[in-house]
Structure 1
Amino acid sequence: MKTLLTAAAITLTGLMAIPATAQEVTLRFQHFVSPNSANPKYFIEPWAQKVEEESEGRIKVEIYPFMQLGGSAPNQYDLVRDGVIDGGWVIPGYQPGRFPEAEAMELPFMTSKSGEEASTAAWDFTQAHLMDDFADVHLIAAHMHGPGIVHKKGPPVEEVSDFDGLKLRGPSRPATLLLKKLGATPVGMAVPAFPEALARGVVDGGVITWEMAPSLKLDELTDSHTDVAGDRALYNLYFVWVMNKKVYEGLPDDLRAVIDANSGRETSAWAGKAHDLGDRDGHAVMEADGNAITELSPEVTEEIKALGAEVTQDWIAEMTERGLDAQTLYDDAKAAVEAVEAE
């Protein structure tokens, strides 16, 4: 008995001698696209490496693409909130109606064609209006992608009338509202479902960024790619990079500080810049494959902007009816974008 007590005392003493700051943790983050697509390549993986290095190896970040830990892209937020995974990349718009205030950043022609600038504005807008929406997770970054492009089978869109009757994939409610206003039949779907829908003829095309085009094989599945004229994006999409709240709060102070140092406005801008780099790469691939690449004329772009303004006014009216201060949300989103552009 004495020997057992002595051994137990030595073991307990040894455990007590290990400082709390020596704790090591493994964090499992998940996303829903190819690891070769822009955000994972230029942001998620480098972010994980940076966190590991700055924690001196005490934080290990495992990144799982293609929803390898289970679930689907639309329920990613709940997977993080419920602790099924430690963190992940979330598109709030994949759950229409759940995060309506975030839609202000996604309205037609709201953002510039710079993902970096749009993402900085998205972080500022989030701090002002959306923190209550994400109160049950820990927010690391809020960002946007680059400009949304129309990708379709057959010849490119050149006039507004060319949208008539097209079945086009849309990623969010504002995007599908715009497609409907243009005369298309919008089909809401998450990005992983888009290639199969194209291959099976469920859709004629859809809107998504240049950067996602190669990983989705849009050079093979579509024939033409159309952007609007000017420096404003046809549409944009709002993302968050989040962590389970209890896991974050359970980290030792010094490891939590590492996460904090890799969160916020600059981190959001970094995530947006990743999309800018990816857009450059994706455009080059589509161009090299000989697909038709078109920019609409300023006149046609103005027609689309007018229809986009109608979408915005309809959205303000709808959200006001739901009890939100929608006009302020729109005004503040626009002001955040313009303030960043003026920096």
Structure 2
Amino acid sequence: MKKTKIAVVLVALLLLNSILLTGCKREDSKDEITLKIAHYYAVDHPVNRYFEEVFKQKVESETNGSVKVQIYPNSQLGDEQEFVEGVQLGTVEMALTGNLWENTVPEFRIMQMPFMFVNYDHANAVLNGPIGQKIYEYLEPLNVKVLASFPNGFRVISNNRRPINSIDDIPGIKMRVFQGETIIKLMNILGFETIVLPISELFTSLQQGVVDGQDNPLATSFYNGYYEVQKYVAITNHMYSPGYIVINNNVWNKLTKEQQKIIENAAKETAFKIKEAVKNQEEQIIQKIEEQGIVVTYPDLLPFIEKVSPLIDEYINSHPHTESIIKEIKELANEYLK
């Protein structure tokens, strides 16, 4: 009888030990993860460079190698739509995206409203502050978390037809746009003929004359080589182009609290360094492209602003719950106009 009891106790102890060991392995498994980061930036673009030099280095070092970072630039894991979907599904752990989110989350159109931000510091205060957090909550049902936002820059227009000295020079220019409701409406209102193309097809389309022009931040166009096949650039700054550092929520929840803190801090530091780099290099890029023979113009922006302002009113009418957020953004702008 005693032997039976001893045997039962031994079996119970073995089972308990097995459970404890399994539990430890599960906890340890949280510490072993590889984060694939997909994006469309060129290898030598500042965004890719800072993710290699800052984000990757900090995360791998501060987690003692328990979190590995693999970065896939230049659309290696597909175009933006593909890796946006990949992050939602979890087939891609992280991505650096533009504003394609506006196609499924209309609140993200706020950031794409024309002339919404007065400068980089204003945009940063909004998108990496309390206002941005209100907007990012609308993305959570898609199983995606925003870690930080960085600037691609303010969008400017380039084309091969003619220099744009005023809004009257626009009609007849075929303009590439991405698949976003706001940018398509904006360009149509300004008078462009719009053609939707993914960014992966843009260089060839400009080279072959499928489209005459495109709009992107100066750095994006410069590092992707678009100015090699363009003649004219107009500094319109008509739309702020945000980038987002996003992570799949299931992946995020598998991380320990310490790992989450390290990754989030690394994302914020990387975003800040990108902002400073983008701000500081714009004059240098303008100088370089002028030296290449590109004509740079500075049209009067007031007619542009007046022409597209109904877009904001139309948006608020369709999404009245966003009016208070837009009001906050405009009120905050006063602090950056001083």
Partner of 1:273: 276
Report the equivalent of 2:6. Answer: none
Deviation for aligned residue 1:193: 2.2
Choose from 111, 121, 134 the match for 1:128.
134
Match of 1:4 in 2: none
In 2, the alpha carbon distance for the partners of 1:17 and 1:234 equals 54
Rate the CA distance shift 1:44–1:98 in 2: closer, same or farther, 3 A: farther
Give the CA deviation at 1:277: 4.3
Q: Which residue of 2 aligns with 1:42?
A: 50
Runs of 4 or more, structure 1, over 4 Å off, are 12-19, 336-339
Instruction: Identify, as 1 or 2, the structure richer in helix.
Output: 2
| Residue 175 of structure 1: how far off its partner (Å) | 2.6
- 1:257 aligns to what? 261
Once residues 29 and 261 of structure 2 are traced to their aligned partners in structure 1, the CA distance between those partners, rounded to angstroms, is 12
After superposition, give the CA deviation of every residue in 1:227-275 in whole Å (9 maximum; x if it has no partner): 13xxxx31112332111111111123322221232345x6544443343
Instruction: State the AA in 1 paired with 2:196.
Output: G
TM-score, normalised to structure 1, is: 0.81
Q: Counterpart in 1 of 2:9?
A: none
Asked if structure 1 preserves the Cα contact closer than 8 Å seen for 2:232 and 2:296, the reply is yes
For the residues of structure 1 that align with 2:245 and 2:24, how far apart are their CA atoms?
Answer: 36
Structure 2 counterpart of 1:5: none
Check if 1:83 corresponds to 2:90.
yes
Contact 1:209 1:279 in 2 (8 A): no
Please state if 1:227 is matched with 2:232: no
Query: In 2, distance between residues paired with 1:162 and 1:178?
Result: 16
Aligned 8 A contact 1:113 1:146 in 2: no
Task: Note the alpha carbon deviations across 1:89-138, whole angstroms, 9 max, x for none.
Answer: 1223x355312111112111111242x54133123322123313234122
Bigger Rg, which one: 2
Residue aligned with 2:221, SS: coil
Change (3 A) 1:274 1:83: farther
2:317 aligned with 1:310, yes or no?
A: no
Q: Is residue 180–residue 186 contact of structure 1 (8 Å, CA) maintained in 2?
A: yes
Q: Give the partner amino acid of 1:132.
A: Y
The reply on whether 1:119 has 2:115 as its aligned counterpart is: no
2:30–2:254 contact (8 Å) kept in structure 1: no
Contact 1:74 1:91 (C-alpha < 8 Å) held by counterparts: no
Q: Deviations over 1:34-73 (max 9, x none)?
A: 121232123565222221222232221110112323x421
SS at match of 2:309: helix
Asked whether 1:290 is paired with 2:297, we answer no
Name structure 1 gaps, 5 residues minimum. 1-7
Question: Following the alignment from structure 2 to structure 1, what is the Cα–Cα distance between the partners of residues 159 and 116?
Answer: 23
Shift, 1:326, TM fit: 3.9
Q: Could you tell me how far 1:81 is from its partner in structure 2? A: 1.6
For the residue of structure 2 that corresponds to 1:144, the secondary structure is strand
Distance 1:277 1:36, change over 3 A: farther
Distance of 1:223 and 1:330 partners within structure 2: 36
Matched, 1:161 2:164: no
Give the partner amino acid of 2:256.
P
Taking the aligned partners of 1:280 and 1:45, their CA distance within structure 2 comes to: 24
Q: Percent identity?
A: 19
Correspondence 1:152 to 2:155: no
8 Å contact 2:136–2:145 — kept in the other structure?
A: no
The structural deviation recorded for 1:152 is 0.7
Matches of 2:157 and 2:245, distance apart in 1? 26
Structure 1 distance, partners of 2:332, 2:199, is: 27
Q: Does 1:335 align with 2:331?
A: yes
Q: Report the alpha carbon displacement of residue 338 of structure 1 after superposing the two structures with TM.
A: 4.2
Determine helix, strand or coil for the equivalent of 1:325: helix
1:161 Cα shift?
A: 1.2
SS in 2 for 1:57: coil
**Is 1:100 aligned to 2:98, yes or no?**
no
Matches of 1:282 and 1:257 in 2, distance apart?
A: 35
- 8 Å contact 1:108–1:309 — kept in the other structure? yes
Give the Cα separation in 1 of the matches to 2:24 and 2:81.
Answer: 45
- Does the 8 A contact of 1:43 with 1:270 survive in 2? no
